[in-house]
Every structure is written in structure tokens, then in C-alpha cells.
């Protein structure tokens, strides 16, 4: 399929199609990862705070601390 870049209808249609594909991919990723957590016991973190240079520290319900960058 060739896109005529001077045709506004084709360019807007192509952008709409790309946005729809990206939206569907984001929804599928969210659905696939809905039960994954960073805490080892499978529960959500109870506290979060920013530390040095973009790292985030999470405190889990069992008292463990996890740092992600």
C-alpha cells in the first residue's frame, strides 16, 4: 500500500490506524501483566519514595524493601 503524503485523508487515516494499534498493544500489555507485582509475596507495595537519580524505593507489606531504577 502506498501512501500519498499530500492527501490529508490518507495521512490522518494512517495516523489513526497507528494510534489504534498502539492503544490495543497497551491494553493487551496491561491485561497480560495485571497480576504481576514487585513484592515477593504478590501484594502491592504499601509505600514508595524517590531516592537518588531516578531510583524508586518500595516498601512491601512484609517489611522488605525493593529498589528499582
Bridge partner residues of 51 (DSSP): none
What is the arrangement of strands in the sheet containing 56-59, beginning at the earlier edge strand?
47-50, 56-59, 65-68
The answer to whether the predicted template modeling score (pTM) of the entire model surpasses 0.85 is no
pLDDT band at 3 (very low <50, low <70, confident <90, very high): confident
**Quick check: 8 and 27 in contact, CB under 8 A?**
no
List pLDDT tens digits, range 53-64. Answer: 889 999 999 999
List pLDDT tens digits, range 21-52. Answer: 999 999 999 999 988 888 988 888 999 999 88
**Quick check: 45 and 56 in contact, CB under 8 A?**
no
Amino acid at each position: 500500500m502506498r501512501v500519498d503524503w499530500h492527501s490529508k485523508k490518507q495521512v490522518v487515516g494512517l495516523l489513526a490506524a497507528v494510534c489504534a494499534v498502539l492503544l490495543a498493544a497497551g491494553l493487551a500489555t496491561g491485561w497480560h501483566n495485571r497480576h504481576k507485582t514487585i513484592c515477593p509475596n504478590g501484594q502491592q507495595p504499601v509505600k514508595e519514595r524517590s531516592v537518588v537519580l531516578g531510583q524508586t524505593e518500595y516498601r512491601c507489606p512484609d517489611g522488605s524493601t525493593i529498589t528499582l531504577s
